[in-house]
Amino acid sequence: MKSLYFFLIISVFSFGITFSNEPESGHSVFGAKAKSVMNPQDSVALENDYVKVMFNSAACHNALTPGFGTRVIVALGKLTIQSSKGIIRLERGNVAAFLSGESYSTPDGAYFEVAFKTNHPPLKSPDKWIEPLKNKIVYEDDQIRVFEERLAPGDTRELHSHAQRLVVRLNNVQLTDPRTKPNGTPGGGIQVPNTVKFAEPMVHVVKNLSKDTPLFNVVIEFKLPVQAQLLPGFREYTYKQIDTIALKLYVKNPTDFNNKISYPLIVFFFGGGWNTGKVSQFETHANYFSTRGIITALADYRVKSRHQTTPFDAVADAKSVIRYLRGNAALLHIDTAKIVASGGSAGGHLAAGTATIPGLNDANDNLKVSCLPNALVLFNPVFDNGPSGYGYDRIGERYPEISPFHNIRKGTPPTIVFLGTKDDLVPVETARRYKQKMEEAGCRCDLFLYEGQKHGFFNYHDATKEGSRYFSETVNQTDLFLESLGYLKGKPTISEFIQQSQ
C-alpha cells in the first residue's frame, strides 16, 4: 500500500530546553492558527489545528481527553511512566504511545507530550511520495507510525517526501539539499538548538553538513492512503525493520467490524520458491474471508531476488509475523487463540514452519511471544525439504532445521492441505506421508487431492466459472474447516462472493 504522511518530527540531542520561532531557510515556521511559547515552564510548547505539544506537562494523560486521540510521550532523558499498561521505562529518544482509552501519570523528568487532535483539517500532501530510507520504525498503529531518523555527520538521505510536519530541533547541525546547495549557504539550513516549527509538504534530498554531530529524530507520521492503493481496503503495518528494509503486513478488518470485539485472524504467505513472489497473491482469499467475519492479513517477507536472502531468513520473517500479530492483538483486535497461518508453495512451507520448526528465530524478536499459530491452511506446500524433497539443493544438510515434515510433533496445530495430483514439486505421496505422520502424533490433518491439477491450481484468476473453480472449491473447504474449529459461523458464502465479483 502506498501512503502519504503527515509528519511530526522531534529531534533529540541536547537537554537544555528553550523555544523560538526563528525561521529556517526554505521552511515556514508555523501553520495556520499555530502559536509558540518562548521559554516554557511546564507548558504548551506549540499548538495548531492538528497537534498540541506540551513540555514537561501531561495535560492529556486521561484515558479519554476530549478533542484528542493518540498521545505520544518522547523522553528527553531517563523516564518512568506509571500507566494503565503497566510501568514503562524510557531512555533518551524513546517513545511511549497511548491510544484513546489508555491513561498514564505525569512522568518524572524531561519529556514532550504530543497529543493529536481528533477533529483537524484535511492534511496536505506533497506532489509525489518517495519513502524516506534509513529509518527504524519503533511504533505503528492505524493512524500513525513512529520511527527514528538518524543521519551521521556528512551523510545524505536521498530524495524523499514530507507532508505537513512539526519539527522540534534540539541539536546543532546544518542541513542542506545538495542538489541545489552542495555546501549550504551562510546561516542557511541551521537547526537552531531547541526550537520548534511547523513545516509544509516537500520533496527533497538532505545532507548533514556537520562534521561531528549526528542528527537523531523521532518522526511521528499520520498515515493517509492515496487513491491508487495496491491493496484497497488494507492497512499497512511494518512488522520488522532490518537495516533499510521495512517488512510489511497488510491487514483488513471484517465486514461490520466492531472495535469492542476480538476476531479470529488468518495471515497469508505468498509463494515463489523463497526466490520471488507478490504479497497480493492471496488478496482475493483475504477479501472473501473478511466477509466471513475474520480479520485477514497479507505478509511480505525477504526473498532471494529482492533481498539476496535464504529460505532460513524467510522462516525467521514468518515467525516474526506471527509474533507481531499476537503481540499487537489488543491494537488489532485479534483473538490470540484463533490465529491461522496460511500460504501456497514456499508460503505454505513458511506457514507450516511457524508451527513446527523450533529454531530459526529472529534474535531481535521478543521470544516470550509465541510464534505458534492455532491452525494451518496449506496450499500445495513444499513442506518436505529433505534429500528427496523440495529445495534440498539450497538447504542441504541443514534440512532438519527447516523442514516441517521432519519436525512434526504432538501439539502441531490442526491442518488442512490442498494438492493437485499432477503437482510437479510436491508428490502426492509426500502429502500422504505428512498426513500420516501428523495423525501418528495425534494431530488433525485433512488432505484434499484434486485430480489432474498442477502446482498453483488453487489461485484465483477471474470471476468466470473456469477461472474461479478451484479457488472456490479450496476456499469452500477452508471455510468448512475453520467453521469446524469454531473460528467461523454459518455456511460458506463463496458462491455469492464470486457472483458479486462478476
pLDDT at 490: 95
Determine the average pLDDT of the residues in 364-375.
97
pLDDT of residue 39: 37
191-200, 266-275, 455-464, 492-501: the lowest-pLDDT one: 191-200
Q: Domain ranges for the chain, please list them.
A: 3-223, 233-501
pLDDT (0 to 100) of residue 224: 61
Whole-structure pTM value: 0.67
Using an 8 Å Cβ cutoff, are 81 and 73 in contact?
A: yes
Q: Give the C-alpha distances (Å, rounded to integers) separating 355 from 54, 73, 173, 245.
A: 46, 37, 49, 25
Residue pLDDT, tens place only, 418-431 = 999 999 999 999 99
pLDDT of residue 374: 98
Q: Are strands 375-379 and 334-344 parallel, antiparallel or unpaired?
A: parallel
Mean pLDDT confidence for 326-336: 96
Q: Three cell numbers at 421?
A: 495430483
Instruction: Please state the rounded mean pLDDT for residues 86-90.
Output: 94
b/e string for 171-183 if b means 16 or more Cβ within 10 A? Answer: bebbbbbeeeeee
**Looking at residue 230, what is its pLDDT?**
63
pLDDT confidence of residue 438: 98
Taking only the tens place, the pLDDT of each residue in 112-129 is 999 999 998 988 888 777
* Structure confidence by residue, pLDDT tens digits, 26-67: 333 223 333 333 334 468 988 999 989 998 999 999 999 899
Q: Tens digit of pLDDT for each residue in 115-166?
A: 999 998 988 888 777 777 666 777 877 677 788 888 899 999 888 887 777 7
CA distance 430 to 424: 12
Which CATH number, 3.10.180.10, 3.90.1310.10, 3.40.50.1820, 3.30.2130.10, labels domain 233-501?
Answer: 3.40.50.1820
Q: What topology does CATH give the domain 3-223?
A: Jelly Rolls (2.60.120)
Rg of the chain taking only CA atoms, in angstroms: 25
The pLDDT value recorded for residue 45 is 87
